[in-house]
Structure 1
Amino acid sequence: MSLLVSTRYTAWPIEHSRRVNIIELVTEGLIVKGLNERIYSRFIALKNLKTADTNAMYRIYSRFYQNTTHATFLDDLQNKTGAIVARTRSTKRIIGFSTLTVFDCDIDGKKIRGIFSGDTIVEPEFWGSRCLHVAFYRQILLARLRHPFTPLYWFLISKGYKTYLLLTRNFYDYYPDRNQPDSKLGDIVRAFSKQQYPNAFDPERMLLDFGEGAACLDENVAQITPEIRAQEPDIAYFEDCNPSWRQGTELPCAGEISFSALTKYCYHLSLKVIRLKLKQRAIAKTQSVPDALKGDAAGPEI
């Protein structure tokens, strides 16, 4: 269980047996998709978000969503606890964010706690970075440790399949799950949805419908084609659950944040980070070898 209470581990040979911080390793050490740009992320409480920060966040948001205004964005943000904000290390420019709030809910007289992820967006040139993932993991880890005996769930609503895939690829028990369509987590999702969005939740369709003119994904973002449906069963299942996603309806989802799930997630994340760093070092080493030596290394020409 030491993996749960500490973010440090021995990462040889990446750091020559030096103890490193897994958060820093991911959020500060990545060069994304060939860009020579390091990025990092931090959680910022709502009261500490500056006007310049929220303006930059909205500029990113408005690139990908239709039927939205700055005022609507700020109104929604006021209901959040804060946001995970990703920046470039050199210029401090905001390149992505994920809003968060923590709330309690009562189900059959039993108290449970939810961490609600709102808008989560990263600029396209930084897709592939896991900086928001790791900063989010740190937040759910802290929430789990602060209330170890209270059931904890990640609650999210998904306009498009990319958000839904964050759930399916990072959680072990979640809803909706194509492999367990009648999961007990369905009751958790209903309770969360009724509490957070009483006027928008449609219990028959298990969707949030904000009416005509609701914010929706830009037509050029995260489109679902027959080819994608055939290749990705999870994406096909998302569209089956939310067939009207193009009109802005949102699919409410939940994932259980148990200690066992956190342990598994941290273990797999650590392996991914190590593999990525080794790959980056191998690429950097290859690029630093003169062309003349590359030919010798490959053997003499015949």
Structure 2
Amino acid sequence: MKSLLIPLTKLHPSDRTAMYALLESHFQGITWQAFQTDLDRKNWVLLLKDETSNILKGFSTLMFCQTSFSDQKISVVYSGDTIVDPSAWSSVALPRTWIAAVNYLRQQYAENQLYWLLICSGFRTYRFLPTFWKEFYPRYNKDTPVLIENLMVSLAQEYYGDRYDKPTGIVRFKSPQILRDGLIEIPKGRQTNPHIHFFTTKNPGYRFGDELVCLTEICYENLTDAGQRMWEAESALEFVQDSVLI
């Protein structure tokens, strides 16, 4: 799998079209205008392509920025649309390259703490957190610390405005993206997984496109063993025409 980290300003129109087609084939409620509007709020795009055919197999959009909280500057990564075609589910390309890409970007603001604000309407996205991060919130086995809760609320309100419901921690879009049949169902036997059970309990409207707001700090010390292996794979970074080949 070939992975490219591309500044939004350098994204080729054909890649935009391929991204939209891949997203629309997996989600209901997708429109070209809404896709473009969300994409234009981001500043980086991670593309996963088949090395032989060059066909797009997955992507993730990112907003990497700075803001202030409690009179301190912090760096934040906001996740946008993210999808991997089922034919590539057995590959670790997305987590490996996503972690490597964020590690690359954070070096521009190395003096700041870096947080990842993630919204999840699917259990597979939420499972990314316990697989690769030690401390993340909300979670089933630990209350969210007050400071983290306040930070999560502040960032969600700043980015999502009135679409964010503070009491539930849920973002609801006017035109939500809903996973298609066959992708939204939780496989038999996995419903009892404590993380998945927590996600469906905390976000009961996930089937209708409700998004659960989550937060974790991005630093090496907060990675699980699996996450640290992905982080260390960052050594494969190469510059390719203002983009980064991972």
Normalising to structure 2: TM-score of the pair?
0.87
Q: Which amino acid aligns with 1:76?
A: D
Measure the CA separation in 2 of the matches of 1:182 and 1:258. Answer: 19
Moved over 6 A (4+): none
Q: Residues 1-302 of structure 1: matches in 2 within 5 Å?
A: 39-183=1-145, 184-211=147-174, 213-224=175-186, 227-230=189-192, 232-261=193-222, 264=225, 267-269=228-230
Aligned residue for 1:96, secondary structure, equals strand
Cα distance change of structure 1 residues 262 and 142 upon mapping to structure 2, 3 Å threshold = farther
Measure the CA separation in 2 of the matches of 1:50 and 1:122. Answer: 19
Measure the CA separation in 2 of the matches of 1:271 and 1:82. Answer: 21
Sequence identity percentage: 27
Aligned residue for 2:162, secondary structure, equals coil
Measure the CA separation in 2 of the matches of 1:235 and 1:106. Answer: 32
Q: After the TM superposition, which of the residue ranges 161-170 and 147-156 deviates more from structure 2?
A: 147-156
Cα distance change of structure 1 residues 74 and 149 upon mapping to structure 2, 3 Å threshold = same
Measure the CA separation in 2 of the matches of 1:225 and 1:88. Answer: 27
CA displacement at 1:138 relative to structure 2: 1.8
Contact 1:45 1:83 in 2 (8 A): yes
Contact 1:174 1:185 in 2 (8 A): no
CA displacement at 1:216 relative to structure 2: 1.5
Q: What is the CA RMSD across the aligned residues, in angstroms?
A: 2.1
Task: String of CA shifts for 1:202-229, please: whole Å, max 9, x gaps.
Answer: 0011100124x42222232131378432
Cα distance change of structure 1 residues 237 and 257 upon mapping to structure 2, 3 Å threshold = same
Measure the CA separation in 1 of the matches of 2:231 and 2:166. Answer: 39
Contact 1:162 1:222 in 2 (8 A): no
Alignment gaps of 5+ in structure 1: 1-38, 273-302
CA displacement at 1:175 relative to structure 2: 0.8
Contact 1:176 1:253 in 2 (8 A): yes
Measure the CA separation in 2 of the matches of 1:270 and 1:196. Answer: 27
Task: String of CA shifts for 1:86-126, please: whole Å, max 9, x gaps.
Answer: 11111211111011111223222222111112111111111
Contact 1:175 1:254 in 2 (8 A): yes
CA displacement at 1:262 relative to structure 2: 5.2
Larger radius of gyration: 1
Matched positions, count: 232
Aligned residue for 1:229, secondary structure, equals coil
Cα distance change of structure 1 residues 270 and 253 upon mapping to structure 2, 3 Å threshold = closer
For 1:283, the equivalent position in structure 2 comes to: none
Q: Which amino acid aligns with 2:107?
A: L
Q: Which amino acid aligns with 1:83?
A: V
Measure the CA separation in 2 of the matches of 1:270 and 1:205. Answer: 32
Cα distance change of structure 1 residues 112 and 87 upon mapping to structure 2, 3 Å threshold = same
Cα distance change of structure 1 residues 138 and 188 upon mapping to structure 2, 3 Å threshold = same
Measure the CA separation in 1 of the matches of 2:128 and 2:15. Answer: 25
